[in-house]
Amino acid sequence: MRFVLGGGVTKAEEDFWRVVRQVARERALPEVDFEIVSARLGDDAPLWGAVALAEMRMA
């Protein structure tokens, strides 16, 4: 399982990501194997998601 975080948080330092991952593993989902990553598309991710959805519906 993968959680992708986007927006301004993608610019956070590695210390932030380390804490987020640790707290999520300990408190939110201790029994689930997962990773937390930053969105590669940055702030444009919602736009590209909308484009992909439109293309899928038109096909």
Whole-model pTM? 0.58
Query: For the residues 32-58, what does the mean pLDDT come to?
Result: 88
Between 13 and 41, name the one with better pLDDT: 13
Query: For the residues 7-13, what does the mean pLDDT come to?
Result: 81
Q: What is the mean pLDDT of the chain?
A: 88
Say if residues 3 and 37 touch (Cβ distance below 8 Å): yes
pLDDT band per the 50, 70, 90 thresholds, residue 55: very high
Q: First and final CA of the chain: distance in angstroms? A: 28
Say if residues 38 and 3 touch (Cβ distance below 8 Å): no
Per-residue pLDDT, 9:
80
Say whether pLDDT at 51 is over 90.
yes
